[in-house]
Chain A
Amino acid sequence: EVQLVQSGAEVKKPGESLKISCKGSGYSFTSYWIGWVRQMPGKGLEWMGIIYPGDSDTRYSPSFQGQVTISADKSISTAYLQWSSLKASDTAMYYCARSQWLTVYWYFDLWGRGTLVTVSS
Chain B
Amino acid sequence: QSVLTQPPSVSAAPGQKVTISCSGSSSNIGNNYVSWYQQLPGTAPKLLIYENNKRPSGIPDRFSGSKSGTSATLGITGLQTGDEADYYCGTWDSSLSAGGVFGGGTKLTVL
On A, residues with C-beta under 8 Å from B are 35, 37, 44-47, 49-50, 59-62, 95, 97, 102-114
Q: Which of A47, A61, A109, A113 contacts B56 (CB 8 A)?
A: A109
**Are B47 and A45 in contact (CB-based, < 8 A)?**
no
Number of A-B residue pairs, CB cutoff 8 Å, is: 80
Closest to A97 in B: B45
Is B63 close to A, CB under 8 A?
no
Selecting from B9-17, B28-36, B69-77, the interface stretch reads B28-36
Chain B residues near A104 (CB-CB < 8 A): 31-33, 92
The listed residue (B31, B97, B98, B100) touching A35 by CB distance below 8 A is: B100
Report, as a range, how many residues of chain B touch the other chain.
20 to 34
B33 contacts across to A, CB distance below 8 A: 104-107
Given contacts A45-B88, A45-B105, A112-B44, contact A107 B99 (CB under 8 A): no
Residue of B nearest to A44 (CB): B105
Chain B window 74-111, contacts with chain A (Cβ cutoff 8 Å), 1 for yes, 0 for no = 00000000000010101110100111111111000000
Query: What's the minimum C-beta distance from B44 to chain A, rounded to whole angstroms?
Result: 4
| Interface pairs (12), CB distance under 8 Å | A44-B103, A47-B101, A49-B99, A50-B99, A62-B97, A104-B33, A106-B90, A106-B100, A107-B51, A108-B37, A108-B100, A111-B46
